[in-house]
Amino acid sequence: MKARSKPYRESLLEALKDPVEAAAYLDTALEEGDREGFLSGSGSK
């Protein structure tokens, strides 16, 4: 039986609890001009 993978959003939220992961995510969102991604990652949305 195959293990089920977590939905993307659930995995992302779990990863963003780690300050290093959160900083990397926010840095990438800023570099790419991804306002929505930045707001999601910063907890503003």
DSSP characters for 1-45? -PPPPPPHHHHHHHHTTSHHHHHHHHHHHHHTT-HHHHHHHTT--
User: For the chain, first and last CA: distance in Å?
Assistant: 37
What is residue 34's predicted lDDT score, i.e. its pLDDT? 75
Residue 1: predicted pLDDT: 55
User: For position 19, what pLDDT does the model report?
Assistant: 94
* Regions of the chain with pLDDT less than 70: 1-3, 37-45
pTM: 0.61
How far apart are alpha carbons 44 and 35 in whole angstroms? 11
CA distance 45 to 32: 18
